[in-house]
Amino acid sequence: MLAVIVASQFIFHSGPSSAELITPSKAASVVGGSWSVDSANTYSFTISNDLVTEKLLNGSTETISLNSFYSTMGGEPLPEVTSGYVEYLNGNISGEQGQIMAMYIVFSSSSNAKNFFSQSEVTLQISSSNFNKISNNEFIAYTPGGLFGEEYDSIILVLSGNNVKIVSVIAPNPLGTSQLESLENSF
């Protein structure tokens, strides 16, 4: 479900300057445990003329149709997105598996970014077990996951001009506001 929300779950014009949005050491200091970047699923992308060029962290490049790209992002179109970056980290927290997904999405205008942010806010207010609006440009949502609710998805979205930053952390316990903000402030 997060993929649909985020996709409805990046070569930058202005944004992260490194290949990693959140370093494994930053993840370990904030969340605990040990973390590694999933280089096969971490990539930047640009969209032009209904084609998406993905540059994976492992060095490979792929150009796919916009429709194919949307289907890998949960099927929902991202109107007026020009570029972005998606990073996955896999972790082990006291013997339990965890995952961090960080996204930096660049829209063609601040109004398009605001529309995406507002739509995500409404969707997560309805679907999450706990929702906290920090400001007009930031919110946090929590959803239980796993077969028996044994893990939590802690999500933060931040709007800044024509950019939206998203961090989703799947871990045995929900993360606090300061932890999520610390991860989000990494990029």
For the stretch 152-179, pLDDT in tens is: 899 999 999 999 999 999 999 899 999 9
Alpha-carbon distance of 46 to 107, in angstroms, equals 11
Q: What is the number of other CB atoms lying within 10 angstroms of the CB of residue 120?
A: 22
* 109-154 confidence digits (pLDDT tens): 999 999 999 999 999 999 888 999 999 999 999 998 766 667 889 9
For the chain, the structural domain boundaries read 2-184
Residue pair 79/115 in contact by the 8 Å Cβ criterion: yes
Q: How long is the chain?
A: 187
Using CA atoms, how far apart are residues 34 and 25, in angstroms rounded to an integer? Answer: 8
The pLDDT score that the predictor gives to residue 18 is 47
Report residue 100 as tokens: 């961090």
Assess if CATH 3.40.1350 describes domain 2-184: no
